[in-house]
Amino acid sequence: MSNSDKRIVLVTGATGGLGTAMCKKLYDDGYIVVANYRSEEKAIEWKNKLHEEGYDIAIYYADVADYDSCGAMISKIAEEIGHVDVLVNNAGITKDGAFRKMSYENWKAVISTNLDSVFNCTRHVINHMIENNFGRIINISSVNGQRGQFGQANYSAAKAGMHGFTKTLAMEVASKGVTVNTISPGYIGTDMVMAVKEEIRNQIIAQIPLGRLGGTEEVAYLVSFLASEHANFITGANLSINGGQHVY
Ligand code: CAA
């Protein structure tokens, strides 16, 4: 396949554990993969490491919490590479703490990075997808947006909000060949999950019927499927991948 026939996928927050696995899988699938980052030093190291492993992935800066920053990134990608066909809204942070002690700053930071970001990036790619009669928006939410989690009022609110967005946008663009879906991973073996105190993490793992954390590549396979044309009839869905931790 020549480069001009390849679809372009943008993964936000690409340098994290889940983002890295997604980039690799989508690259292996034959996409032109574009990685968004916030920390330049980490991103350059990441790009070089992936290059050594055989992955040629362009990196673009944007603070996904900032609408104009996302607009500037997406314009630059369009000029230098092309229009985004598949957007994976993956960037996210945690600032956990019991609500009675949660600061406004920790509320706002999580809502801006995890939820406003979905508007900020999607708004800049959706019209091209509609014109092109093909597009994929894949929002990476969390089991904790589906069920809540002690210490995550900010995170759970943002993650639940993502799926509300998915449902409405899916309806609005279904007739234009654009699908919009949410993936809700459970506890995956990422730095974010490993930052939870060991004792608490072990209590959480004990609640997972499969008895282990998920693998980043297991989530990447689901992203790959949703991005493909095999998933043309799936839209507005919230797909759980949580080892049975939350069934409903
Ligand atoms: N359930 C019920 N009560 C709890 C509790 C829990 N899970 N955790 C703490 N408490 C209680 C304590 O027993 C204590 O009660 P008393 O006041 O009656 O003594 C009180 O709450 C302690 O409150 P603190 O604010 O002092 O709690 P803490 O500082 O010890 O811990 C916390 C708070 C850091 C949020 C901790 O609960 C925690 O780490 N929770 C896990 C959060 C989590 O799962 N984060 C996921 C990060 S990864 C991710 O988000 C990816 C993804 O999508 C899954």
Name the residue at shortest CA distance from atom 53 of ligand 1.
142
Q: Does the pLDDT of residue 99 top 90, yes or no?
A: yes
Q: Which protein residue's CA is at the shortest distance from atom 5 of ligand 1?
A: 150
pLDDT tens profile 119-154? 999 999 999 999 999 999 999 999 999 999 999 999
Once rounded to an integer, what is the mean pLDDT over residues 63-90?
Answer: 98
- Mutate which of 18, 110, 162, 200 for ligand 1 pocket (most atoms within 8 A of beta carbon): 200
pLDDT in tens, 202-239: 999 999 999 999 999 999 999 999 999 999 999 999 99
Parallel, antiparallel, or unpaired: how do β-strands 238-241 and 8-11 relate? unpaired
Which pLDDT belongs to residue 5?
85
Beta carbons of 18 and 185 less than 8 angstroms apart: yes
Mean residue pLDDT across the chain: 97
**What number of CA atoms fall less than 13 Å from residue 226's CA on the CB side?**
28
Domains annotated on the chain, with CATH: 3-237 (3.40.50.720)
Instruction: Tell me the mean pLDDT in the region 23-37.
Output: 98
How much is the average pLDDT of 172-183? 98
Which among 233, 236, 220, 240 has a CA at the least distance from the CA of 29?
220
Q: Ligand 1 center to residue 197 CA distance, Å?
A: 9
Enumerate residues lining ligand 1, CB below 6 A. Answer: 94, 96-98, 101, 142-144, 149-152, 155, 187, 192-193, 196-197, 200
Whether residue 196 is predicted with pLDDT greater than 80 in this model: the reply is yes
Q: Looking at ligand 1, which atom is closest to the CA of residue 155?
A: 50
4 pLDDT exceeds 90?
no
Look at residue 1 in the predicted model and tell me its pLDDT: 64
**Residue 11 burial class via C-beta count within 10 angstroms: exposed 0-12, middle 13-18, buried 19 and up:** buried
Task: Quote the tokens at residue 19.
Answer: 């983002």
Task: Give catalytic residue positions.
Answer: 155
